[in-house]
């Protein structure tokens, strides 16, 4: 028997017997709660998905894995990082940044390249006045050479 004809036969037999599909019945997922009181007394877990609030959503995990409680770390943690830039003056930092940029891209020859250097230094977090002064100095030294 082919699948389609089988489904037609089963569907017709079900209708003849008066069986309703589960999706057509109210509270089909919870048959024991189908005939209980009014809908006002339902808890958050029994509400429809359209009406449940995110704060009331408590899903049950499908995965059953053992929980391991750790009271303390196996090895001690030692924080060894430092912030050397905190002790370095901003002038020195911007000079290093300009040297690196010039080494990678060369001296700015056009106004667009100078603006690109200017924008790069501003994105690095240097003060506007300092960036302006240093980029002008780079452009002057380029003309002097």
- pTM reported for the whole predicted model: 0.41
Ordered by start, the domain boundaries in the chain are 88-144
* % of the chain residues with pLDDT over 90: 31
d(C-alpha 24, C-alpha 18), whole Å: 13
The confidence score (pLDDT) of residue 145 equals 57
Which two structure tokens, joined as six digits, stand for 65? 């894995």
Instruction: Decide: helix, strand or coil at residue 115.
Output: helix
The confidence score (pLDDT) of residue 3 equals 73
Backbone φ and ψ of 83, nearest 5°: -120, 85
**pLDDT band per the 50, 70, 90 thresholds, residue 129:** very high
Which two structure tokens, joined as six digits, stand for 109? 């020859």
Whether the Cβ atoms of residue 93 and residue 85 lie closer than 8 Å to each other: yes
Give the DSSP letter of residue 125: T
The confidence score (pLDDT) of residue 99 equals 93
Residue with tokens 């391991």, as numbered in its chain: 68
Which two structure tokens, joined as six digits, stand for 114? 């100078």
**pLDDT band per the 50, 70, 90 thresholds, residue 37:** very low
d(C-alpha 47, C-alpha 62), whole Å: 20
**pLDDT tens string 42-96:** 565 566 778 888 888 888 888 888 888 888 888 888 777 777 666 788 899 999 9
């Amino acid at each position: 028997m082919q699948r389609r004809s089988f489904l037609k036969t089963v569907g017709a037999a079900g209708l003849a017997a008066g069986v309703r599909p589960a999706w057509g019945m109210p509270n089909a997922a919870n048959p024991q709660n189908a005939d209980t009181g009014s809908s006002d007394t339902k808890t958050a877990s029994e509400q429809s998905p359209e009406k449940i609030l995110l704060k009331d959503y408590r899903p049950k995990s499908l995965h059953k894995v053992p929980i391991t409680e750790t009271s303390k770390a196996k090895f001690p943690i030692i924080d060894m990082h430092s912030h050397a830039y905190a002790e370095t003056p901003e002038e020195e930092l911007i000079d290093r940044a300009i040297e690196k940029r010039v080494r990678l891209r060369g001296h700015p020859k056009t106004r667009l390249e100078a603006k690109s250097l200017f924008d790069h230094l501003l994105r690095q977090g240097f003060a506007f006045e300092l960036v302006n002064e240093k980029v002008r100095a780079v452009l002057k030294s380029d003309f002097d050479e």
